[in-house]
Amino acid sequence: MTPKIALEEHFLAPGFEEYLAKTAVNISPEMFGKATAALTDFGERRLSQMDQIGVETAVLSLAGPGVQVEQNTARAITKAKECNDFLAERMAASKGRYSGLAHLATQDPNAAADELERCVKELGYVGAMINGQTNGAYLDDDRFSVLWERAADLGAPIYIHPSNPPDFPYMYHGHPELFGPVWSWTVETGNHALRLIFGGVFDRFPKARLLLGHMGETLPYQLWRFDSRWEISNRGAKRLAQKPSDYFRRNVWVTTAGVCSDEPLRCAIDALGVDRVLFSIDYPFEHSNLAGDWIEKAPLSDTERAAICHGNARALLGL
């Protein structure tokens, strides 16, 4: 069994149930809430799932949307700190089995940057996860430059996780099944990442690191077209120092979270490079045994499998 580090594995902190409830609109009533017991467990239930498939370390992150949907900035800052302190205690007690991605109140970018630095330098976190837009603000907005600069200086990746858009797009009317994990979360997160690329974030902060789950939210499939159509797009005064695809290969890493399929895995490897793809489960929203069995049998060389399962995570996160 190949040793593994899993990058998008979720938990729920006390007092964050109200935020998780915001996703009820996206999930069938019969299924919503069934993952709570797994999310709140840090003991035998979670560890046994890890052991069954060879996960040595799980990088934990709060199940979204968390404080990204909080309207009160002061409360968001306080709650994010509470969440990070809560997980830090579990990380310390786990003897290396758990690492973590910090939860940030991006309502206040300066406070978010300071909290990221605290989490990395004092609590042992390896990056941050941000659950989509925050009250209509996306991370390409210049107000977030302080966060990107700090993250780049710390070498801390920022993982953008799916969440709902600030409005309800008409294209989903009459099709609630498309609003959520089937499709809209992919569209929303992929678009968020493209805002960063085309907004020049990685020209301003060339050492910034972006993580995307779900095999890159379909974006690796489109790299050639991004380059081609950028040339004729209605881009106004926008300019980029490099081709769009160059930023994907320099600043973006993707995880396999929630996608156990050979074809998108091969696409991600071929489009971005094998050093840009990292194993994840998306626990408990995906079955651990399914993800583990799949990656062991996927059509990869031994070198590729080792890199994806653990080597790339060690290099990116310093684990």
Q: Pick from 246, 252, 247, 255: which is nearest to 313 by CA?
A: 255
C-alpha distance from residue 129 to each of 172, 174, 244 (Å) = 26, 31, 23
Radius of gyration of the chain (CA): 18
Q: Which residues are catalytic?
A: 282
DSSP per position, 148-206: HHHHHHHT--EEE-----SS--GGGTT-GGGSSTTTHHHHHHHHHHHHHHHTTHHHH-T
Query: 137 near 199, Cβ under 8 Å?
Result: no
Q: Pick from 206, 194, 126, 115: which is nearest to 158 by CA?
A: 126
